[in-house]
Amino acid sequence: MPTPASAAPIGCTVGDLKNAIIAANGGGGTIDLPPGCTYTLDSTDNDSNGLPVITADVTINGNFATIERDTGSPLFRIFEVGGPAGKLTLNSITLRNGDLDAADDGGAILVDSGRTLKVRNASTITGNSARNGGAIFTNGITDIQSSTIRGNTASGFGGGIGVSGGGSLDLFATRVTANSGNFSGGLGFDTGTTGTIRSSFITQNTANVNGGGLANDGNLTVTGTQFAGNTANGDGGGLANDKTLTLTSGIFTGNTANRGGGLANFSASGQATINNSVFQANRATTFGGGLATFTGANTTVNTSAVVTNRAGTTAGGIYNNAATTTVNASAVAGNIPNNCLGSAPSVTGCVG
């Protein structure tokens, strides 16, 4: 059993794991799991959590172990980061099968306000389900690097990860793939949140409404990230923005939506600046195969390419409706059935 601020190996049983967390909560500590162990939880430890709440600075080195909920057991998540000073770091670990159905948030992990979560080193969070944040729901500070968020489900928003309550998410070199939600299949940022996404892959996610890959109602910066093969039945197959978005060196390809196959920017608060990015082979059922801007929103496209996208009605490249879209030093070409026709007002800097 680990003592505070030290590291010690533990056994391969759920009891060993719980005892180690309790000990580490005593003043902070590091827990080393045996390589390849599987810890199968079949009941709650407290409230809606399978394991003791993290209340101190706790690091768990998974060594590619798995912590899972037994799918035949009652519904619960795996971790909650809470207490007076909860901070959880997960390294090289898999979390799977946490399930709260539509009753609560954070299928695998709930991060309380002011608390911190770090996920590192080829960790995987998969097969979890919740109301919001199928894998992770954070009201605190969450930082994920070199990991995978895959195959999670939310009945509300954030099929993979939901960010709310003034929380923040920093995502680096991470895959968010094959998640689904009612809103925001992959990632969902609520009002008052902040996000930074760098060098990541947002792929094959699905939303019933808007934001197949991601929906943003906060302040979001995205750099060097690919959105591919995401689907929304409403707006924004790759990304739906309703607040402040700065996008640099993004690639949007093979995304699908009713409007704005690659990206949709809508409402008077939607402010999107797009730099050095590519929108290619995206599709909209009606308008804006590559991009769409609606209802007072403002989109500026700088030194980018919007090419070979398709729309079912018009504006296969960029569609603007009761908003402002400006194209500077960018290629808008080869879109079907046209580039920007049907926009009202027209798209400044787009021809055809």
pTM: 0.97
The Cα-based distances of 1 to 15, 136, 164 in angstroms read 11, 28, 35
In the 8-state DSSP scheme, what is residue 306? Answer: E
pLDDT in tens, 45-65: 999 999 999 999 999 999 999
DSSP H or E stretch at residue 142: strand 141-145
Using omega within 30 degrees of 0 as the cis cutoff, is the peptide bond preceding 345 cis? yes
Instruction: Report the alpha-carbon distance of residue 336 to residue 125 in Å, rounded.
Output: 39
pLDDT for 285: 98
Identity at 325, one-letter amino acid code: T
The closest alpha carbon to 4, from 21, 20, 26, 19, belongs to 26
Pairing of strands 148-150, 175-177: parallel
| Dist. CA 34–CA 55, nearest whole Å | 23
Average pLDDT over residues 141-158: 98
Mean pLDDT calculated for residue range 212-230: 98
CA–CA distance, 144 with 20 (Å, rounded to integer): 24
DSSP state at residue 74: P
User: Does residue 4 have a pLDDT over 50?
Assistant: no
**Structural contact between residues 297 and 319, judged by C-beta atoms closer than 8 angstroms:** no
Amino acid identity, residue 335? Answer: N
Mean residue pLDDT of the chain comes to 96
SS3 call for 14: helix
Q: What's the pLDDT at 243?
A: 98
**What's residue 8's pLDDT?**
57
* Predicted pLDDT of residue 48: 98
